[in-house]
Amino acid sequence: MTDTTQPLAGIRVVEFSTMITASLATMMFAQQGADVIKVEPPGIGDPMRWLGSQKGGISGLFHNCNQAKRSITLDLKSPADIASARELCLQADVVIHNYRPGVMDRLGLGSAALREAKPGLIYCAITGFGHEGPLSNRPAYDHVMQAMAGFMTLQGHPGGFAYVKTLICDKITAYTAAQAITAALFARERSGSGQHIDLSMLESCIAFLWPDGGMHLTLKGEDVAHGAPFADYYQLPLRSTDGAIAYAAMTDSHWDAVFDLVGRPDLKGEEKYKGLANRSVHMAELASIIAGEKPNLTSAEMVAMLASKDVPAAACLSLEDLPADQQALAMGIFEQCEHPLLGPVQHVTPPARFGGRKLAPCGPSPALGEHGEAILAELAARPQP
């Protein structure tokens, strides 16, 4: 019987990367049963190992992007190590990297060379700005990409620009890469042929932002009736006596419940706040009025009152609050385990459930080069493709 919690068992992925984009994408494959081999440079390895909270060469960030992988160190300035890297690739189903255009070609590890030798190989090249245009050879980091892709103009900051304070562009690109590679694996099952995938951070992030962020730019012509930007529908949080809540009022009945909550039933009679079309035009004004009120209630009391009227609402939680949250506990979102090098660790379990079950617990993040000898021995033992 097929183990539905290991849907990618038997797939081998070779990752050449630093930082998050390729690392997070391939960790998803590892969590789903794939054998992921992370190729790192000798010395410090992936610089992500040393960012933020860390123990002995494994940071929390590195662990959260590299669980269940195997690590080998290869010096890609050494002909012998390049030969080992090439052999690794030719024994893989997927090769992924996030180096600048031309780097892998110069090493003899480019898509054309490898896929000529192994036509079934899926090769994914992640870049910042693609292969054309004046920025194609420029490095790309998350906060720079936030500026380029338009994220910083949508945060409502008084100065007009603000970062989303998470590595959102890196993670968007990782999820986009994972989806594209999965599609390519599915296509190979039908055709037997691999393929080359080009993926840029800039395109991934603009495509992610566009459905709602670019909706006012989608319809063209003089006859377009423009409503409020969707960002205005993110009503400002409501202050409580012990914090704040977020709410998502969409219908007239939702808004009536909000008006009652904040002690402004008079707003129910305002025509400009009745109906979706009217509110769309006046949403920023309405949200500001409501945010100026402060009911003498706790967050839990406010959420309960809104929930009784079926208005979506939740208390504003900190990351530190989440592991003890009752909903998170009920869903089993967090997992604590013992890492062989780090000791006790807490991480988030994979969100997708296959066959109605959570994915099986996956292995730990690797020490730098931890599996090098075993991987090289496997290369020597396996027949040439």
Last residue of a domain, one of 315, 344, 371: 315
- State the CB neighbour count (10 A cutoff) for residue 16: 24
pLDDT 10s digits, 310-365: 999 999 999 999 999 999 999 999 988 889 888 999 989 888 888 888 887 778 99
Q: Is 161 domain-assigned?
A: yes
pLDDT 10s digits, 235-264: 788 999 999 999 999 899 999 999 999 999
The CA-CA-CA angle for residues 239, 320, 317, to 5°, reads 25
Q: Is 195 domain-assigned?
A: yes
Name the 3-class secondary structure at 199. strand
- When pLDDT is cut at 50, 70 and 90, the band that residue 384 belongs to is low
At residue 1, the pLDDT reads: 45
How far is Cα 32 from Cα 34, in angstroms, rounded to an integer? 6
The pTM (predicted TM-score) of the whole model is 0.90
Pair (306, 194) in one structural domain: no
Last residue of a domain, one of 288, 315, 342: 315
Question: What CATH code is carried by the domain that includes residue 265?
Answer: 3.30.1540.10
- When pLDDT is cut at 50, 70 and 90, the band that residue 158 belongs to is low
Alpha carbons within 13 A on the beta-carbon side of 8? 24
Pair (290, 338) in one structural domain: no
Give the residue-averaged pLDDT of 215-233: 76
Pair (44, 152) in one structural domain: yes
- The position carrying tokens 């930007």 is 229
Q: Is 100 domain-assigned?
A: yes
Pair (67, 99) in one structural domain: yes
Pair (286, 258) in one structural domain: yes
Pair (20, 131) in one structural domain: yes
Q: Is 131 domain-assigned?
A: yes
pLDDT 10s digits, 68-113: 999 999 999 999 999 999 999 999 999 999 999 999 999 999 999 9
Task: Return the percentage of the chain with pLDDT > 70, whole number.
Answer: 95
Alpha carbons within 13 A on the beta-carbon side of 385? 17
At residue 108, the pLDDT reads: 95
Pair (307, 340) in one structural domain: no
Pair (195, 274) in one structural domain: no
Name the 3-class secondary structure at 88. helix
Q: Which amino acid is at 71?
A: S
Q: Is 360 domain-assigned?
A: yes
Token code pair at residue 6: 């290991």
- In DSSP notation, 35-76 reads EEEEEE-TTT-SGGGGSSSEETTEEHHHHHHHTT-EEEE--T
Q: Is 217 domain-assigned?
A: no
Pair (248, 181) in one structural domain: no
- The position carrying tokens 């040393």 is 50
pLDDT 10s digits, 271-319: 998 888 888 888 888 888 988 888 999 999 999 999 999 999 999 999 9
Alpha carbons within 13 A on the beta-carbon side of 262? 25
Name the 3-class secondary structure at 239. strand
At residue 34, the pLDDT reads: 96
End-to-end CA distance of the chain: 29
Least confident of 16-20, 46-50, 219-223, 234-238: 234-238
Pair (191, 243) in one structural domain: no
Last residue of a domain, one of 263, 291, 315: 315
Q: Is 126 domain-assigned?
A: yes
How far is Cα 83 from Cα 74, in angstroms, rounded to an integer? 10
Q: Is 215 domain-assigned?
A: no
Nearest partner of 96 among 208, 18, 43, 6, judged by Cα? 18
Our count of domains for the chain comes to 2
At residue 230, the pLDDT reads: 66
Least confident of 75-84, 170-179, 212-221: 212-221
Pair (150, 245) in one structural domain: no
Question: What CATH code is carried by the domain that includes residue 141?
Answer: 3.40.50.10540
Print the domain residue range for 291.
238-315
Pair (100, 248) in one structural domain: no
